[in-house]
Structures are given as C-alpha cells and as structure tokens.
Structure 1
C-alpha cells in the first residue's frame, strides 16, 4: 500500500479535516498497517494504550465483558472510523476490549506521533475535541437506550437509522450479524428473535436472511419514538 493511498484515505477521516498535503504526507509515513481476521482481538481491557487506530477496511467493535462471560457492545467502527483517542492521548490503559467483527485492516499511529501533530496544528486539536464531544453524546444516547427503552424500541431505532444510511425506506440489508446486533441492542439473541417475530406478526417488517422489508414504515417510526426523552 503506497503513501498516496494512505493520504487519500486520511483525507476522508473527520479527525484530519483541514490538514495540508504536507502534513498528510508526514502522517502517512508514520502509519503502521495491521490486518485482523474476523473474531481476532485488537486489544484487551487493561492493555497499555500506545496507538491511535484508523479503520482502513472492515469493522471492529469495542465492548466490555463481565466475569460471567457476558459482553456489552459499546461502539462499532467501520471504514474511515477512528478510535482509542482518549487512551492514546492519556497514555493510560484501554478501558474496554476491541475485536474485529469481520476481516479488517487497521492503520496505527503511535501516541508520540499523535501528540507531536496536535502540538503543531490547532486544527487537529479542534477536530479531536469535536469528535470526543460527538462520542460523548453517542455514549449518553446509548446509556439512555439501554436503561430506558425496550428491545423492540431499540430495534426500531436501529432499523430506521440503517434505512436512512442506505437511503431506502422499503428494503434494508442488516450490516451486523444477529449475535452482534443483539449484543449491540443490549439483549440476548433469543429475545431479539422474539421481537423480530412479533414485528413480523404485526406486519411491520418481514425478514428474509439478512434483508428486512419494511412493510409499515409509519408503525416502525411510531415504535421508535416510544419512551423518547
């Protein structure tokens, strides 16, 4: 992979918005490329944080796990996503686990290189603040969803968001496996299947493999708006 390809990729990331060609060239030269197979651990909770991560291709999830073996997905990152900013800045330890949920290529930037760039460029520092603020809002919404909303409401919100991203209100393709989706929604696979069956019985949706046909968009939207703060 050439530095030009790295630079083209970096231009698409929100964190590096506004950086000059020269700065992107310098940054590209410091990136380390690593590949992970589906299910492979990227880092574990408590591990020393020494890098910032860019998702070049694929998808990863950050999650917490209990002593009983249960896990809760915190966030998902796909192509052009950036993660582990806070531990990389602090130089501390990762507060959660990270694994690839499909074959994934990551670009790693060492902590010292990141700090050097921030010290030299106020634009990068402002971008970092904006991303962290957005991340905080997302966590706040996730906590509200998991504590105040039922599984069917959370699923309806997810389907509507996916519909918006894919630009289709009639047919959408699930971008997560059902086990990962259930974990992201804070429920079990069995409960997720029950909710899907209920929505199919109510003629709100119809599932065929990884595709979901939205039969009654208005009903799905009304369900998603239940318990909104």
Structure 2
C-alpha cells in the first residue's frame, strides 16, 4: 500500500499580506540593519518615506538590469532572487524572509538591479526611492555608517559564495545552503519536533540552482543526508535535524 504524502508540519502564517499594519511596518524597519538603534521619533520619520506595495505569488517586483530606483524590505511573505543565465534559464540565487532587503539604489553604488526579485508567496514589501534614501543618509549619519557596514558584509558574503562554488563539492554546497536557509527561514521547535523546520515551496530545481548543480545530483545528495539522519523532508518542507553534522561537511 502506498504511503500518502506527508503534509507540512505547520499551517501557513495566518497574517494576510494585505494587512501590513503600521505596527508591522515599524517593527520591520526597527529591526532592519540600516535602521536598528534609531530613536522612535527618527524611526517614524524613516517609516513615512516608505511606500507599501503588495504582490501576488509569482509577480515580478523588479527586473534584473532595470534602473535601480528603489530599495525594498520584505514585510510579509517570501521573495526569491533570480538571475538570467547564459543558457537562457532563470537561476535562483536566494530566498528572502521577512525583514530582508533587496533591490538597489544609486546612493548604494547600484545603478541597475543585480537580480530579478519575484514574490514566491503573496507578499507585502516596503519600498523607498533613491531621492528619499539620499535624504536619510544626509540627515542621519547613523544610517550612513550602518549602510557602509552592510556593504562590507555583502562583499564578504559574495567572496564566500565564490569560494563555495569553486572549492567545495555538491554535498558540501547543499549542506551550506540548507544551513543558510535554516538560519533565515527556520522555525526552531515551533511544532514541538526536534530540529529546525524550513517551511517553503523550494523545489529540487531551485536548490540545484542555488548550489550550481543538477536537480538529479541534488536529489541524490538530499536522499543521502536524510538517510544519514542529518535532515528530514516532506512536501514543501525540510527539517534540519543535525546542524553540527551539516557544518562538519565543510571542514
């Protein structure tokens, strides 16, 4: 008798994306790396410069190569970053959770959007224009310093990604990607089970694009990791059972 597919262990987030309340906007911006530590008064000034935009699943938020005119923060839902390859395919670069930023602006040294951003789920994002962001930098030195630190971290992340692709095997790259997703999207013990749950419609093809491998190879690696007790998987979810075991693959 065939076993029925296992459903996701948790139900979907009950907050509808169209309900991006003032309290949610404030919380997202107060936790953003550019604006954390600002006083409530200054944060309110920052919040007034952002527009609230809503996108259904699979809608494009910004196009790779387009003029970088807005910086975005994910307020609700998940956003995926894609880049068009020489072969004509859209390669998945990253999945962004609530609070993550994407897009680009001239004041940040970005003239064109480096990736296409697409709503993976129904999403609400907060957007700010280049002119408004420039004024924030001029009026609030604390924001300027935070931006410089963030740019430096992004460069470090880019170097690490290049190192992973050039020096690591597929098994290691898959383990690293799962740890990264667990850190950004994971729910630790939310349903009473052990491990960190990654609840997202992430296909093997998506994961393969993230690590620079074929879907067939990634499927074999995932099966091996599950057999070794490092992860568990189901429909639209992955659970990291042994983070240290995955980390050890990169040593």
Pairwise same-fold verdict (TM > 0.5): yes
Calculate the aligned-residue CA RMSD, in Å. 2.7
Give 1:2 deviation, angstroms: 5.1
CA distance in 1, matches of 2:23, 2:227: 52
Unaligned residue ranges in structure 1 (runs of 5+): none
Structure 1 residue 174 and structure 2 residue 198: aligned?
yes
CA distance in 2, matches of 1:207, 1:46: 36
Matched with 1:207 is 233
Give 1:47 deviation, angstroms: 1.0
Alignment match of 1:154 (pick from 159, 169, 173): 173
Structure 1 residue 189 and structure 2 residue 208: aligned?
no
For the 8 Å contact 1:64–1:96, the answer to whether it is kept is yes
CA distance in 2, matches of 1:69, 1:131: 31
CA distance in 2, matches of 1:204, 1:19: 41
Alignment match of 1:38 (pick from 38, 49, 57): 57
SS of the residue 2:218 aligns to? helix
Unaligned residue ranges in structure 2 (runs of 5+): 1-19
Instruction: State TM-score, norm by structure 1.
Output: 0.83
TM-superposition CA deviations, 1:155-211 (whole Å, max 9, x none): 222334556654469533234412322222222222211112233445554434324
Structure 1 residue 79 and structure 2 residue 98: aligned?
yes
How many equivalent residue pairs? 224
For the 8 Å contact 1:3–1:29, the answer to whether it is kept is no
Give 1:213 deviation, angstroms: 6.3
Instruction: State TM-score, norm by structure 2.
Output: 0.77
CA distance in 2, matches of 1:136, 1:155: 22
CA distance in 2, matches of 1:180, 1:142: 16
